[in-house]
Amino acid sequence: MTTGDAAQDARRGWTPWLVGAVVLPVLGAAATLAVVENVELDTWAAWQAALLLGATFVAPAALSAWVAWSFGVLEALAWALACAGIQLALVFGVGFLALGLGPGG
């Protein structure tokens, strides 16, 4: 193993942690809160609103899975679920409760 190989292995090790557990959930939560705050979802059909809000969770989770794909299918699936879970916690915990954003806020 050369020094270049070790550096590449080290980068592969922290990339999913940074992207899948920090960057994408934060961006997804910001997108979800922006949609809830700035879009009149009550004028939309229920399926359209659900599709839009679902897309704000699926897109970051799919990108997280793509970043972790080189580690295998199960790990990619685990990162997608972790990303969606962290994003959900951020939306409700930070956005709705701490900042008072969202419906009725």
Q: Which structure tokens are listed for 100?
A: 């008072």
What sign does the dihedral 47-49-50-51 (CA atoms) show? positive
Specify the pTM: 0.82
CB count in 10 Å sphere of residue 23: 15
Q: What is the residue-level pLDDT of the chain in tens, covering all 105 positions?
A: 566 665 555 555 777 788 888 999 999 999 999 999 999 999 999 999 999 999 999 999 999 999 999 889 999 999 999 999 999 999 999 988 888 887 775
Secondary structure of 60-87 in HEC code, one letter for each residue: HHHHHHHHCHHHCHHHHHHHHHHHHHHH
pLDDT at 103: 73
Residue spans of alpha helices (H) in 1-105: 3-18, 24-38, 46-67, 73-89
**Integer Cα distance of 77 and 20 in angstroms:** 11
* Tokens 């020094």 -> residue: 3
